[in-house]
Amino acid sequence: MPVDQYIVFVLERTSDVNKVKARFNRLGFDNLCGYLCPGMNEWQEMGKPIERLCTMSAQLLREELEKKDVLLIDVREPHEWREGYIEDAVRIFFGDLEEKASSLPQNKPIAVTCSAGNRSSLAASILKRKEFKEVYNVLGGMTAWKNLDYPTKIMRNRAAEQSG
């Protein structure tokens, strides 16, 4: 997140605002422009607007990939990708997604994965903000995929291939 980014805190207690603000200030983030208290539950109960992010299980992802009905974006770091990736996944490092999003098709559902689902959740939010209509966060990410013993590809570099 850029240090000049405007920040709105969503907190359960108003008494936490100063404590959280101080911690963000120590990290160089000083653009607090507001806060929401007592949190999302009351916001929803008041009927205020919310956005939602769709999710997809590893099982459903596999089905959708077999039907070629979804584009899979893997936002992990290069070294994580080399350890194993899903065939046909497109690797776009999380930090590059903002600028590379325009190269993605707007007319196809997009599933986003990382190792467990945290970075992919943020990445999916970035795509939603850029007006992609159908975006899914893959719950459990590559950890769930591998725990289900689904196939992965291994990126081999030349040095590894030459050494056997």
Is the model's pLDDT at 158 over the cut of 60? Answer: no
Q: Lowest mean pLDDT: which of 31-35, 140-144, 157-161?
A: 157-161
Please write the tens of the pLDDT for every residue from 45-74: 888 877 778 999 999 999 999 999 899 999
Domains of the chain (ranges plus CATH)?
7-45 (no CATH), 54-147 (3.40.250.10)
- Range of lowest pLDDT (27-41, 78-92, 115-129): 27-41
Q: What is the 3-state secondary structure (H, E, C) of the chain?
A: CCCCCCEEEECCCHHHHHHHHHHHHHCCCCCEEEEECCCHHHHHHCCCCCCCCEEECHHHHHHHHHCCCCEEEECCCHHHHHCCECCCCEECCHHHHHHHHHHCCCCCCEEEECCCCHHHHHHHHHHHHCCCCCEEEECCHHHHHHHCCCCCECCCCHHHHHCC
Residue 80, pLDDT score: 92
Catalytic positions are: 114
Whether pLDDT at 110 is above 50: yes
| Mean pLDDT of all residues in 151-160 | 68
What pLDDT, in 10s, does the model give residues 69-103?
A: 899 999 999 999 999 999 999 999 988 999 999 99
Question: Is residue 106 pLDDT above 60, yes or no?
Answer: yes
Q: How sure is the predictor about 154, in pLDDT bands with cuts at 50, 70 and 90?
A: confident
